Structure 1
């Protein structure tokens, strides 16, 4: 840690829930001067609590907005009333690229640089060391401020919205993958073979590699008609088991679309 770079660094954290509170605590431990605001959560030890976004942002070198995608626009507008020229605003919320671009435009109109930051793993257990992607014209500056405190920041060469785009593209796979596992295990539980299916899924994940991805994608295109019929049968089975076939239906519909190409 570069103590010279950290000394006197003033950071505001908006949103002190599970993610924001953990990051704020790590920033304090790293030697930063941290002010925070959350309408529902008290400031953790070492963080100076404030009465609003503008008060937290006042005098700060960096503002971290870690509340929610829905709250981010209002938090930005409120915080800009206290942010001084030269302050850097970082939005760490999981929002769409369009929302991030809009936030960047609002900040730019106020003469403030905004960085789009995507948290690429869960924060609990990692805190400030959670891998981050940062985009926007001031992304390099953001990395320069936080890396000396122990943050893991990769900078993308592109505008605000690019980091969010990368995260959400990954989310389509990871969250869809998780949802498929939840649905399949629920159905297996209904027929009394959950443990069998759990072991089967774990074995597939353990042995997966790049060739597995090629097989999944190529096979879906090549055998779309047959697989769509198979997923229709799976959907019918889940209906009979009173398990909502949300992922199974979506898989069937995607395969049907591929079959028409």
Structure 2
């Protein structure tokens, strides 16, 4: 049930988002549609003359204020949402901690290990603000701000009704920091691992011309999965977001390591995701149309590796 404190937070209607990439833009649009009137965003690209034009223009078109920095973003706001890449989790928490108001909430959406989230929380709590971790449990599109997420930490139960009021699917799972992130990270080992396995298996099968034999055997073993469609989806998502996925998997490896287990699989998944991200950055998949089949992506990948000069 909402309390006087959460009702007051809702009435404040002044929110800030750090990170204006895909997730930040989706959350900004969703919150505006939910009735949030004063929404500011900040992204490092805003300060880069070579990159600022597009995100600033997008923010203006979306009806959100592009802040001049973290200090301006935090001024007068009772809720700051962090939606950046996993590798920036601590840096953002540290920057916000210098300016966030005591008593304000900091909602951390980033895919980071329990240990990383606990370090971030310590920075925010030292300021007298309230840190809430979120484990976002699936791809944000097409859910938008209604994407299922798990909340954790001593302030999660207080913030949850506020998020529900804006249409978010946010479920507190523990008052202990790290639990929600552990759930997310363990799931990521499986999901991002499947992506990496599909890319490696399918591309290799394509090279040998045996894909029409391999995929039917997968369908026999796991008949509930459309392996053709799933393969196309996995390729497209890794090509588009491989860098972010690689960073998330490095945090997943930290999670496994924090449990005292050698993260052989998680580390290998991170390397495979990074490899595809690097190929995408180098233009290997440029021109592959939206909705392309996995074969289109695999053919680009194979053409690159077969024409690449030998190393050494």
| Residue 151 in structure 1 maps to residue 168 in structure 2 | yes
Q: Decide whether aligned partners of structure 1 residues 6 and 114 sit closer, same or farther in structure 2, where only a CA change above 3 A counts.
A: closer
Within-5 A mapping of 1:131-170: 131-170=148-187
What are the superposed Cα offsets for residues 106-149 of structure 1, whole Å, 9 maximum, x if unpaired? 11111111011111111122110111011000111221111011
Specify the alignment match of 2:39 in structure 1. 34
Q: If you compute each CA radius of gyration, which structure gives the higher value, 1 or 2?
A: 1
Shift of 1:51: 1.0
Specify the alignment match of 1:227 in structure 2. none
Give the distance between the partners of 1:205 and 1:10, measured in 2 at CA: 48
Specify the alignment match of 2:16 in structure 1. 12
Secondary structure, aligned partner of 2:202: helix
Secondary structure, aligned partner of 2:140: coil
Check the 8 A contact 1:7/1:31 in 2, yes or no.
Answer: no
Check the 8 A contact 1:57/1:80 in 2, yes or no.
Answer: no
* Matched pairs, number: 208
Residue segments in structure 1 that go unaligned for 5+ positions in a row = 209-240, 245-261
Check the 8 A contact 1:114/1:160 in 2, yes or no.
Answer: no
Secondary structure, aligned partner of 1:116: strand
Specify the alignment match of 1:183 in structure 2. 200
Residue segments in structure 2 that go unaligned for 5+ positions in a row = 46-54, 226-301, 306-312
Check the 8 A contact 2:149/2:170 in 1, yes or no.
Answer: yes
Shift of 1:195: 2.7
Q: Kindly report the root-mean-square deviation, in angstroms, between the aligned alpha carbons of the 2 structures.
A: 2.2
Secondary structure, aligned partner of 2:206: helix
More helix as a share of residues: 2
Check the 8 A contact 1:54/1:80 in 2, yes or no.
Answer: no
Q: For structure 1, which segment, 58-67 or 70-79, has the greater mean C-alpha deviation from structure 2 after superposition?
A: 70-79
Check the 8 A contact 2:135/2:150 in 1, yes or no.
Answer: yes
Check the 8 A contact 1:132/1:154 in 2, yes or no.
Answer: yes
TM superposition score normalised by structure 2: 0.62
